[in-house]
Structure 1
């Protein structure tokens, strides 16, 4: 399994809108069987930060998801709302609740 942990920093005044787009992305992943987990998180100590944790069957499955029309549309919606991004870590999931 392949995992990603990333952080998005919303443009000033755009956090709620970006959070909504990312939640829509999470909902669209319900239709992608190779996506095992796609969750959105916030941290009250970082008022503009939104974290995304993803688990995929493989790294190839993740890359393939980027070619989906729904994913491309959501990326287009999100880009103007993002002031910064940081890929915190690429991980190899080995198991646990939900996996």
Structure 2
């Protein structure tokens, strides 16, 4: 079942655009490990927040991705840009009017 992970990442003031650039670098490996979509967004009303929507083949694929060395390296590189303000939620996708 498709798994969705939706979150907010608080950034150190002034580092939002740097985090967006980091998170949006091309990664074909994400597809290989089961990521169906990884969308990064901003809202100028929240200048120190980055929004992320992830769709995965399954919760297990998402969990397994966290052990992939390239993913671990990406997380480590992003840490200095992050504050401690995180939010979000996860769910199993029940369906969509856009696909069968």
Q: So what's the TM-score if we normalise by structure 1?
A: 0.85
Name segments (4+ residues, structure 1) moved above 6 Å.
none
TM-score (normalised: structure 2): 0.85
Encode CA deviations 1:11-54: one digit per residue, 9 max, x unaligned: 01211211111112xx22x3323111101010111011100000
What is the RMSD computed on CA atoms of the aligned residues? 1.8
CA gap of 1:97–1:70, structure 2 versus 1, over 3 A, is farther
1:92 Cα deviation from its structure 2 partner: 1.7
Aligned length: 96
Partner of 2:23: 22
Mind listing any 5+ residue stretches in structure 1 that lack a counterpart? Answer: none
Flag the structure with higher helix content: 1
Query: Aligned equivalents of 2:67 and 2:45: distance in 1?
Result: 34
